[in-house]
Amino acid sequence: MDNNGDEKNINIAESGDEDNGQIVTPWEVSAKDGGKIDYDKLIDKFGCQRLDLSLIQRIERITARPAHVFLRRNVFFAHRDLNDVLDAFERGEKFYLYTGRGPSSEALHLGHLVPFMFTKYLQDAFKVPLVIQLTDDEKCMWKNLSVEESIRLARENAKDIIACGFDVSRTFIFTDFNYVGGIFYQNMIRIAKCVTLNKVFGIFGFTNEDHIGKIFFPTTEAAPAFSNSFPHLFGSQDNIRCLIPCAIDQDPYFRMARDVAPRIGYQKPALIESSFFPALQGEAGKMSGSDPNSAIFVTDSAKDIKNKVYKYAFSGGQDSKEKHQKYGANLEVDISIKYLGFFLEDDAELEHIKTEYGAGRMFTGEVKNRLIEVLTELIDRHQRARAAVTEEMVDAFMAVRPLPHMFD
């Protein structure tokens, strides 16, 4: 296992950064003066590692399939102990995937889809089971939603998650309100006994004004990282490795889990972490479900997508045709280029667009038109898949049942 500062950084609050003013917590992401998030600083501060080309090539070799576009383009860019998981997998040892969603809105936006699209790739490539946690209790506490509304939103969000194409024979989706108890709750208490009030304040930036539910909640998100929390899947086995695909703002939860794991006799969970999907208006933070104009939602119509991209997608193009042809576009700030980097799968086409646009031979309108085509196709495909998800399918994914073929 790595020794890259899990304990060193465990008591550093992520509520702010004295060096550049960026804020990265599980609930807030922003950079100073509208700037970009400094991911190198986050890696150093959080104590994780860069996901380099040799590791990507190793994944390709082990799975015998091309790396996902999110790997090729450094969307997933950092990790903890991924090499250990791959070592164990090559020895014939099993692992499972764990990811989740805090259901605070009726529909997902593109940024919410990213971890699920990547997790589906991992499930298909490694043929391993997956648990998906819907933290309806968290959103009830942070968003001031009623218990009933939080439960309803979780079920609606589950339909969008299922529409990503997960294999029901290898996937268990659960909500905290419905599932927490038994061994899962016992693990929460084991974790809680190892984390002091001072430490949880330091990790998550809580204050004396936060209610006690928030302070205890991190144990709920940590518990799924330990395999015996799911006795219907793994029995009493507490030695099955867990790999967590997530955005890097979720790292504090699992840094806490990794700090606690050896003390309660469990494997440290491994992580593979993504950068943030930027808002239409720029890269200072991530998309917000509370600002409909900052995001493309999976419920948006083709007209909505077109209007949002044309009106709100920040452009790196110059302010006149002559200047643009002379100086070209600033690709580092152009949101259409950023979004195409996520969702345009053809590497050659993406490089062509970047070359032509950067040289001033392609204009902002052309790039936005291509992005609109890509997003419209993606959202249309998702909406058709979502429409086919029945209540019975949701029940099947959420049923507490064994998955006898989950490692086949």
Q: How far apart are CA 309 and CA 356, in angstroms?
A: 20
Q: Apex CA 206: angle with CA 202 and CA 208, to 5°?
A: 115
Q: Does the pLDDT at position 1 exceed 80? A: no
Say yes or no to pLDDT of 49 above 90: yes
CATH number at residue 380: 1.10.240.10
Identity of the amino acid at 290: S
* pLDDT class of 37 with cuts at 50, 70, 90: confident
Residue 2 reports pLDDT greater than 50: no
Could you tell me if residue 399 is inside a domain? no
What are 177-189's pLDDT values in tens digits?
Answer: 999 999 999 999 9
Instruction: Note the pTM of the prediction, 2 decimals.
Output: 0.93
Task: Decide: residue 13, CB within 10 A, 0-12 exposed, 13-18 middle, 19+ buried.
Answer: middle
Nearest CA to 164 out of 132, 187, 140 is that of 132
Name the residue among 72, 40, 79, 39 with its Cα closest to residue 56: 72
Element (H, E) at 123: helix 110-126
- Residue 38 is predicted with a pLDDT of 87
Structure tokens at 247: 């955005």
Do 324 and 214 lie in a common domain?
A: no
Q: Write the secondary structure of 19-86 as one string of H (helix), E (strand) and C (coil).
A: CCCCEECCCCEECHHHCCCCHHHHHHHHCCEECCHHHHHHHHHHHCCCCCHHHHCCCEEEEECHHHHH
Question: Is pLDDT of 9 > 80?
Answer: no
Do residues 185 and 320 share a domain? no
Residue 13 domain-assigned (yes or no): no
- Alpha-carbon distance 6 to 258, whole Å? 7
Bridge partners, 50 (sequence order): 78
Q: Residue written as tokens 């009726």?
A: 106
Q: Which residue has the higher pLDDT, 365 or 8?
A: 365
- DSSP string spanning 148-217? HHHHHHHHHHHHHHHTT---TTTEEEEEHHHH--HHHHHHHHHHHHHS-HHHHHHHH---TTS-HHHHHT
Are residue 130 and residue 259 in the same domain, yes or no? yes
Same domain as 91, residue 168: yes
Say which residues have a Cβ less than 8 Å from residue 92's Cβ, sequence separation at least 6.
none
Residues pairing with 162 in the sheet: none
Which residues fall within 8 angstroms of residue 272, CB to CB, at 6 or more apart? 51, 76, 78, 79, 82, 243, 244, 245, 246
Longest dimension (CA), the chain: 69
Mean predicted confidence (pLDDT) in 205-219: 94
The two three-digit tokens of residue 279, written as one number: 């808002």
Which pLDDT score, from 0 to 100, does residue 22 have?
A: 78
Q: Is the pLDDT of residue 198 over 50?
A: yes
Residue 9 lies in a domain: no
Q: Which residue has tokens 């600033």?
A: 330
Q: Is residue 120 assigned to a domain? A: yes
pLDDT of residue 10: 56
Domain contains 44: yes
pLDDT digits (tens, 9 = 90+) for 325-357: 999 999 999 999 999 999 999 999 999 999 999
Q: Which one-letter amino acid corresponds to residue 388?
A: A
Give the C-alpha separation, 38 to 61, whole Å. Answer: 31
Q: What is the pLDDT of residue 23?
A: 78
**Which domain-ending residue is among 281, 311, 336?**
281
Q: Kindly report the backbone phi and psi dihedral angles of residue 121, in degrees, each rounded to the nearest multiple of 5, phi listed first.
A: -60, -45
pLDDT digits (tens, 9 = 90+) for 359-368: 999 999 999 9
Domain boundary at 281, 310, 337, which? 281
Q: Flag whether 2 is in a domain.
A: no
Q: How confident is the model at residue 284 (pLDDT cuts 50, 70, 90)?
A: low
Task: Output the domain CATH number for residue 107.
Answer: 3.40.50.620
Domain match, 261 and 361 both: no
pLDDT score, position 107: 86
Asked if residue 289 has pLDDT above 90, the reply is no
115 and 45: one domain?
Answer: yes
Asked, for residue 98, whether it belongs to a domain, the answer is: yes
Instruction: Give the pLDDT mean for 304-324.
Output: 96
- Residue range 23-29: average pLDDT? 80
- Band (17; pLDDT cuts 50, 70, 90): very low
Identify the band that residue 166 occupies on the pLDDT scale cut at 50, 70 and 90: very high
Percentage of the chain lying above the pLDDT 90 cut = 82
- Shared domain check, 221 and 86: yes
Q: Do 226 and 336 belong to one domain?
A: no
* Residue 246: pLDDT over 80: yes
Mean pLDDT throughout 282-293?
66
Residues 194 and 68 in one domain: yes
Looking at residues 53-62, what average pLDDT do you find? Answer: 97
User: Would residue 395 count as lying in a domain?
Assistant: no
pLDDT score of 7 more than 50: no
| pLDDT digits 0-9 by tens, 110-134 | 999 999 999 999 999 999 999 999 9
Check pLDDT > 80 for residue 292: no
Task: Note whether 190 and 301 are same-domain residues.
Answer: no
> Looking at the structure, do residues 270 and 344 belong to the same domain, yes or no?
no
Is the domain of 102 the same as that of 198?
A: yes
What's the structural domain count of the chain?
A: 2
Q: What is the mean pLDDT of residues 209-226?
A: 96
Query: Is pLDDT at 240 greater than 70 in this prediction?
Result: yes
Sign of CA dihedral 219, 220, 225, 227: positive
pLDDT, greater one: 6 or 45: 45
How does residue 282 score in pLDDT terms, banded at 50, 70 and 90? confident
C-alpha pair distances (Å), 30 with each of 14, 198, 367: 12, 25, 27
The residue segments making up the domain with residue 204 are 23-281
Reported as a pLDDT band with limits 50, 70 and 90, residue 286 is: low
